[in-house]
Structure 1
Amino acid sequence: MRHVIDMTVTGAVGLVAIFVVDLLNLFYIARLGEQELAAAIGYAGTVLFFLTSFGIGLSIAGTALVARALGAGDRDRARRLGTSSLIFMAIGMTVISLGLLPVSGTVLSLLGATGRTLVIADRFLWMVMPATVFLGLGMMYSSILRAVGDAKRAMWVTLAGGIITAIADPILIFLCGLGVDGAAITSVISRVAMMALGYYGVTKVHRLTDRPTLASTLADVKPLAAIAVPAVLTNLATPVGNSIVTAMIARYGDGAVAGWAVLGRLVPVAFGAFFALSGAVGPIMGQNVGARLFPRVRQTLIDSLIFMSLYGIVVWLILLIMSPYVVRAFDASGTAASVISFFCIYASLGWAFNGAVFVGNAAFNNLGFPAYSTVLNWARATLGTVPFAMFGAWLGGPAYGAEGIIAGQSIGGVVFGVISVLICFKVIDRAADKPADELPVSAGPPTAQSPFTSGKGATAGQ
């Protein structure tokens, strides 16, 4: 539990900083008093969510393989895998962002954006999307630092982006009068800063990168792809589900989308520990799998679920109390205010169960069953979203349809969270019965020591 909390809390601070960048952008834009601007940021954020999810998927692969190599005592292999992971991240994020730009307007139209809202959202994407490669590299550097146990330095990699945004946003948006363009420029600057700090920590402090060669990079394609492909497919399910909900909510006007945009940035900040928890338990499970200590793997899952449940309930109570202040902070009114209030008071409780899906994904990816994550996430994004959201919209009617959609999505998440946990325990038992050579990476000697397998609990970075 100590390892879970330490890695999760430090990871949450850093990871939340990534989402704080978007939240602060929207907060300052909302203060301009134009609902179309907030809606535009919401539509643009939905598209950028695809790229962020792709980057998270690649980071999962890098984290898992580097952690296993370290757990098995093979630091040379860890360096090689870290380098290859960064190369694949740079190539992947560049190709996808440049591929999306020419069709960004069409994608925004499919999501429901029209008129001035569409034009503003498209301009924002053209400014920010090319810089997502820096965000991807920053996330990969942070993941490698977590894999080696340096949770605090990993935290500062992403925390830097939030600090820069808090300072630069009001200057560029208000003092320089750049509005949405100022928010876009700030996003680019923060992404570059994350990459630079991550490079220093991984390359200069821990020396977990090596001079790349074509032969070693190509040799790492298969083991990285074995985790990255299903992990990326798994993570893309969430933005797909989010896009479906965005398109459904768009039928209720820019006010509903503006409220949904606030929630899209409030949820990752409020429940950032859930996202961090999946990243934290990955290295813990990965190194214990490498050391063949499956009782610790099971205990990690149990402690993660306990932490997640308590955290989720506390956050719900805070949102319940703070709901009127959240509405006021984003200058929301009408439908936007109703959507925000409804989520804070009622639907946010469902996230106490939603976190189970994140924990399950981390376990599946590190135990050699990544396809389980893919299937469950896509099932949640489709079967666990569309029918529930449609029923909620019908139940809410014209007046409360947007709130009904959000309620339906929350209930579907609860159902699939419970299913994920039940399957996860069975998967751990199956992995424990496998011989070492059938695990994703050779486990190495059971006596291998690491910050997460040592009986004494070695300090971070040791």
Structure 2
Amino acid sequence: MQHTELLGQDNIGNLIVKLATPAIIGLVVQALYNLVDTIFVGRGLGEQSVLGIAGISVAFPVQMLMMAIALGVGIGGASIVSRSLGKDNRKHAEKTVGNMASMVTVTSLIFTVLALLFLKPMLSLFGASETVMPFAAEYTYYIVLGTVFFTFSATMSNAIRAEGNTRYAMMLLLIASITNIILDPIFIFILGMGIKGAAIATVISQIVGTLMVFYYYATGKATVPFSFNTLWPDTAIIQESSYIGLSEFMFNLVESLLFLLFNQSILFYGGDLAIAVFGIVIKVFMLTLMPIIGLKQAIQPIFGYNYGASNFARVRETITLSAYMATGLCFLSMVIVFLIPEQIIGIFSHDPALIEMGVPAIKICYLMMPFIGAQVVATALLQSLGKSRASLLLILSRQLIFLPPLILILPLYFGLMGIWISFPISDFMGFLVAVLLMKREAMTMEN
């Protein structure tokens, strides 16, 4: 039985586990190699560890912009691919894969040129102080040079996943991530390259991921093959893909721009030390969120295929099961963070001041973690069904409507603590919006 046939016939619970497991493994390892950069820099710079960690933290919004490109194109194109397969329109799926490749390449090249031209002003906006700037600029310069490789491999892994082959998508992430984890200590410690070595190791790992994408399509492993004649832009596909992927693009774009607000506020109320703490919290949060994102990537082709085949009962069953799974995974991560916060912060640095500030910060930020699961499932559903406007509303409700006012107002009364408190409050409010939107879509399918 082909991957696509399983999407419409296999038991939903088994199918979610089967598709989610490789996605989760790959994403967790991918998040680990981002963590490894921070850990090795924190351990390798000695007394300058806080400045190195802060430098990577300031660079993170730039990486979010790169991710915005990859996921904007990848999620939008993947939704078309899975629905086309559900309708047995394989030619349209093939054309979409080719357009995904050309769209992400052109967009990434434009981003690379602009980012290099305005590198230091951009990093300054994202919160790099004079002491942190040398570390942030050196790291970000090499990361930006690898934009095309990062975005291309991330985008095309969504195309591979859309045809149901999550195992290869996992292997792509796994091998690229392991490459980075191996190269980091070699470049940082053995070759003495410091923070620059961490960035170069990351770029090399992204090149490995890109080569694996080419291998997948060149050796005929793909259910939806890639050919050069599908690279020529198709206006209808670009418009639909952009429309569907807009919510994911906006999520990462807004997230990146919000770092401007976060980092500037954190720098004002807590200085470079607080910037480093925030960077650690975000990296840990991203790691614990990866199982939920893996679940999201698994259920998207299930939603898209069965919706395309008008099998709404399977769509509703997937909503229910995945919501329970996502909430359970989020609750587990919250428990772990509350049990060993000092040990988690201590992995990155033994600096006493960093640990003292980091422990309460990470516990507060995780207070409403269990409520994030439903938001992820709702976003996956809306994107897979092509409901870009609703998914955009869900994403912006938390990121643009709830969080920024809290970041601006609460610190006036609670100082730095007010910034940490803003995150769980916005998480809960976003949860309420997600539940309402999911119920509305479920009722629409019943009618």
Name the TM-score, length of structure 2 as normaliser: 0.91
Amino acid at match of 1:263: V
Q: 1:238 aligns with which of 234, 247, 255?
A: 255
Q: 2:242 aligns with which of 200, 220, 225?
A: 225
Q: How does 1:123-142 map to 2 (within 5 A)?
A: 123-142=138-157
Cα separation, 2, equivalents of 1:151 and 1:381: 29
1:190-233 CA-partner distances (Å, limit 9, x unpaired)? 11011111222244211521222576644532332232334322
Name the % identity: 23
Give the structure 2 partner of residue 404 of structure 1: 418
1:5-52 CA-partner distances (Å, limit 9, x unpaired)? 332222122122332222100000000231111101110112211211
Q: 1:208 aligns with which of 205, 214, 225?
A: 225
Q: State yes or no: 1:302 paired with 2:320.
A: yes
* Unaligned segments of structure 1, at least 5 residues: 434-462
Amino acid at match of 1:340: G
Q: Is the 8 A contact 1:260 1:339 kept in 2?
A: no
CA shift in 2, pair 1:15/1:214, >3 Å: closer
Cα separation, 1, equivalents of 2:112 and 2:37: 20
Q: State yes or no: 1:357 paired with 2:371.
A: no
Q: Is the 8 A contact 2:143 2:202 kept in 1?
A: yes
Q: Is the 8 A contact 2:68 2:250 kept in 1?
A: no
Q: 1:381 aligns with which of 399, 403, 406?
A: 399
CA shift in 2, pair 1:141/1:368, >3 Å: closer
CA shift in 2, pair 1:419/1:176, >3 Å: same
CA shift in 2, pair 1:390/1:181, >3 Å: same
Cα separation, 1, equivalents of 2:34 and 2:233: 37
Amino acid at match of 2:256: P
1:384-439 CA-partner distances (Å, limit 9, x unpaired)? 21232344423433xxx1x3312212221121122112212202433565xxxxxx
Q: Cα RMSD over matched residues? A: 2.0
Q: 1:147 aligns with which of 162, 176, 190?
A: 162
Q: Is the 8 A contact 2:67 2:252 kept in 1?
A: no
CA apart distance, 1:261: 1.0
Cα separation, 2, equivalents of 1:10 and 1:342: 33
Cα separation, 2, equivalents of 1:304 and 1:214: 35
Give the structure 2 partner of residue 6 of structure 1: 18
Count of paired positions: 429
Q: Is the 8 A contact 2:251 2:399 kept in 1?
A: no
Q: Is the 8 A contact 2:94 2:225 kept in 1?
A: yes
Amino acid at match of 1:20: L
Q: How does 1:43-58 map to 2 (within 5 A)?
A: 43-58=58-73
Give the structure 1 partner of residue 431 of structure 2: 417
Q: State yes or no: 1:29 paired with 2:46.
A: no
Cα separation, 2, equivalents of 1:104 and 1:297: 45
SS in 2 for 1:220: helix
1:258-316 CA-partner distances (Å, limit 9, x unpaired)? 11111121111122112222222211100011110112112211111100111111111
Q: Is the 8 A contact 1:384 1:409 kept in 2?
A: no
* Unaligned segments of structure 2, at least 5 residues: 1-12
SS in 2 for 1:253: helix
Cα separation, 1, equivalents of 2:118 and 2:204: 25
CA apart distance, 1:249: 1.1
SS in 1 for 2:229: coil
Give the structure 2 partner of residue 183 of structure 1: 198
Cα separation, 2, equivalents of 1:194 and 1:323: 33
Cα separation, 1, equivalents of 2:363 and 2:236: 51
Cα separation, 2, equivalents of 1:216 and 1:112: 38
CA shift in 2, pair 1:344/1:225, >3 Å: closer
